[in-house]
Chains A and B, each alone.
Chain A
Amino acid sequence: MRALAAVAFAAAAQAAALAAPGDPGDWPMAAHDYASTRFSPLADITPANAATLRLAFTFSTGVVRGHEAAPLVVGNTMFIVTPYPNVVFALDLSQPGAPLRWRFEPKPEAFAQGVACCDVVNRGLAYEDGKVFLNTLDNQTIAIDAAHGKELWRFRAGDIRTGETRTMAPLVVKGRVLIGNSGGEYGVRGWLIALDAAKGKELWRAYSTGPDRDVLIGADYKPFYAKERGSDLGVRTWPADAWKVGGGTVWGWISYDPELDLVYYGTANPGPWNAEQRPGDNKFTSGLFARDLATGQARWFYQLSPHDEFDYDAVNENVLIDLAVAGKPRKVLVHPDRNGYVYVIDRASGEVVSATPFVQVNTSTGVDLATGELRYAPGKRQRTGTVVRDICPAAPGGKDWQPSAYSPRTQLLYLPHQNLCQDQETTQVGYIAGTPYVGATIQMKPGPGGHRGRVTAWDPAAAKARWTIDEDLPVWSGALATGGDLVFYGTMDGWFKAVDANSGRLVWQFKTGSGIVGQPISYRGPDGRQYVAVLSGVGGWAGAVVAGDLDTRDGSAAGGFASAMRDLKQRTTKGGMLYVFALP
């Protein structure tokens, strides 16, 4: 077993720049490493022995909303965070049953629950140098002493009274804590902020809309495509002042390339959803930024969905890998977007290498690689007061926030995603601070084939799927890939599954207490054994009908997700529980 593990470590070492800081058996950030691979090199658990996986211990979080977070493991401690009220627990992995070492209760304002668009989720903590970093729903970032659970500092930015919240997992790099805001459905103006990890002082703030000085666009800004060049595009691609309530929030994932010293992240949809109220490209929403870590200055931007009409946020993960393109190795980022395409982008220049649909897409017909333009399909354009039917993919996209995993061994990206289309009526909407700024009534439905979810093993070099697993319900959990050539994910009715990374063959499954929308992780315990952990607890946008006790007789409930999830209340119930598994 030891020899096997050593081989796996050697194989994983090819992804040198990807490695997480510290011990390879740890899981120190939600995405495991700066490159956002969600790949653990641990190889004790394999397709040959996974059938014997059994429960090692559990832990009830006492909270019953959607548990989307990834647990963190550093040394002999596991850190988990709950949805609102954002309680942090530190579990002592060196003791039998992993007893509680400390808990931290930030006590966020209750009012924040009312302005969280898609359940009161939290997507994870971050760790660096003995500190745990927590985002709370009411717009606080808190540093906690990892050893004792004592608060070190608090940073506040944003106001729940204008619909602003904080749900993303911070990324901490070299003493800088990167955080972004949520609230694209409330006319919130998006930003990314870098904080000093020692004191919680704001180092820089980059808005997603507005004049160049606010967006931190200066002399370093060299976008690949002509369409991204010009001065103050964050103002001039909007009707007067609309950029002030124009969305572009930063609620998804952040990656970092230590060699290029660049930070990568996506911006969310423009507001309101009614696109007729905001003619123009609406920069810099629904696109990807590359920024200098120290200054925040933009290096390049690429808008995936200009003048977005379908809630296609670009906040999904950017997985940084080296890929042979036409026989030449290139540093790329792989980004599976809500708009239904997997983008492979040269991460130094911002050039799109390929953009290939991974679900049925009828809102656009392709991406022009010469200009970078997304070719919208005229038949699905929205008009105020009309209903457009059979829009694919639906508002949550071909894939939403739920992060994929990349195995350097199989060189496949494992995408958990949904297969949904929708009917939409577009309506006039007025901006009222603290209320939704949307202007659309939606009813979703299963996409082609009738299954609402799918796991796709995507070959980014060949730009095609290697294998797929159809799931009846949307796959709203993250994915985990391991050095033992396994892929783990969960289903919304509570099954936690391990499949062969090469074939997709199901090798093990376990029924947890509630639907799984969390991010599975793997770590080496203090006893030297490999463990796999996941939070169970249904919720999030897809699971809001259960987590929020919604009434699915109204198909437009939960932003239109209700009409596609009428059976979920029969399939699962609320509950928040950590499950940890190991070989006997």
Chain B
Amino acid sequence: MSSRCRDRALVLAVAGVAGALTAACEREARDFLPPRPGAQVAPAASAPASAAAIALAAAMVGRYEHNAYAISAGKRLFAWYNCSGCHANGGGGSGPALMDDVWIYGGDAGTVYLTIANGRPNGMPAFAGRIPEDQLWQLAAYVRSLAGLASADAAPNRDDAFLTRTPESFADPAKPETVKPAVATGRPQ
């Protein structure tokens, strides 16, 4: 896998297999370049994000949600920054559920990014200016993976510990919720 990803231009040049191999490369790619200073979104307290910044964010989130490392990093940050305190593991709590097909402000990559960056008036805090820009993109990519909007082959497919739902790689927002109450074992159904 890594050898085929080494020269992306070459792979892209090969007609016929380009689609499959490009997807594989996106899943494995690591981008160590920090975001350019111009891409930083202003903290929520000041002016809203510029159109250019939103466009860049949407592009980066779109790229990250095909990337296993970025989504996995977003998953870790989702716990570290206490996102899970309000949204649980996608089912929601004081904050709305993220694994269903309802998006209060919109579920496209740019809007999810803006929600995390600038916050929302009904209780979502703003994270722009508090955490690095690329972490905002990683979080947005992970949030979309909760609802099955990221690449299934890049989304996490196992949890390190306590299983509370089916893994993100199997996420299907249209799948109905189970109606049976929990059995005495307490295992998810």
Contact = CB atoms under 8 A, between A and B. Distances in A.
A425 interface: yes
B10 interface: no
Contacts of A556: 88-89, 91, 162, 164-165
A437 interface: yes
B180 A446 contact: no
B92 A548 contact: yes
A36 interface: no
Taking each of B94, B125, B188, which has the highest tally of chain A beta carbons within 10 Å of its own beta carbon?
Answer: B94
Given A441-B162, A445-B182, A566-B178, A110 B122 contact: yes
Given A555-B182, A564-B182, A115 B177 contact: no
A563 B86 contact: no
A220 interface: no
B181 interface: yes
Interface residues of B, number: 44
29 contacts: A110-B121, A111-B121, A112-B123, A115-B123, A116-B94, A389-B186, A425-B161, A425-B162, A430-B80, A435-B125, A436-B85, A548-B96, A549-B92, A549-B102, A550-B91, A550-B92, A551-B97, A551-B100, A553-B99, A553-B165, A553-B175, A554-B90, A554-B164, A555-B91, A555-B188, A558-B92, A569-B177, A569-B179, A570-B179
A436 to B, nearest CB: 3
B103 interface: no
B60 to A, nearest CB: 24
B62 interface: no
A550 B93 contact: yes
User: What interface size band does chain A fall in?
Assistant: 35 or more
B131 to A, nearest CB: 10
A562 B80 CA distance: 22
Interface string A413-457: 000000001110101011010111110010111100010100000
Contacts of B161: 385, 387, 425
Contacts of A114: 86, 94-95, 122-125
Contacts, number: 168
B33 interface: no
B184 A554 contact: no
Interface string B94-120: 111101101000000000000000000
B184 A446 contact: yes
Contacts of B79: 427
Contacts of A432: 81-82
A421 B182 CA distance: 11
B50 interface: no
Given A114-B86, A553-B91, A557-B91, A444 B186 contact: yes
B88 A549 contact: no
Contacts of A110: 121-123
Interface in B157-189: 161-162, 164-166, 175, 177-186, 188-189
A544 interface: yes
A28 interface: no
B182 A553 contact: no
A438 B89 CA distance: 14
Given A425-B161, A437-B82, A554-B164, A566 B179 contact: yes
A576 interface: no
A390 B185 CA distance: 8
Contacts of B102: 549
Interface in A515-569: 544, 548-559, 562-567, 569
Contacts of A551: 90-92, 97, 99-100, 177
B129 to A, nearest CB: 14
Contacts of B100: 549, 551
Contacts of A115: 94, 123
B97 to A, nearest CB: 4
B178 to A, nearest CB: 5
A117 interface: yes
A411 interface: no
A113 interface: yes
B94 A446 contact: no
A435 B82 contact: yes
B93 A444 contact: no
Given A551-B100, A554-B90, A555-B188, 19 more contacts: A434-B125, A435-B83, A435-B85, A438-B85, A441-B84, A444-B182, A446-B181, A550-B93, A553-B99, A553-B178, A553-B188, A554-B164, A555-B165, A556-B88, A557-B88, A558-B92, A562-B88, A564-B181, A566-B179
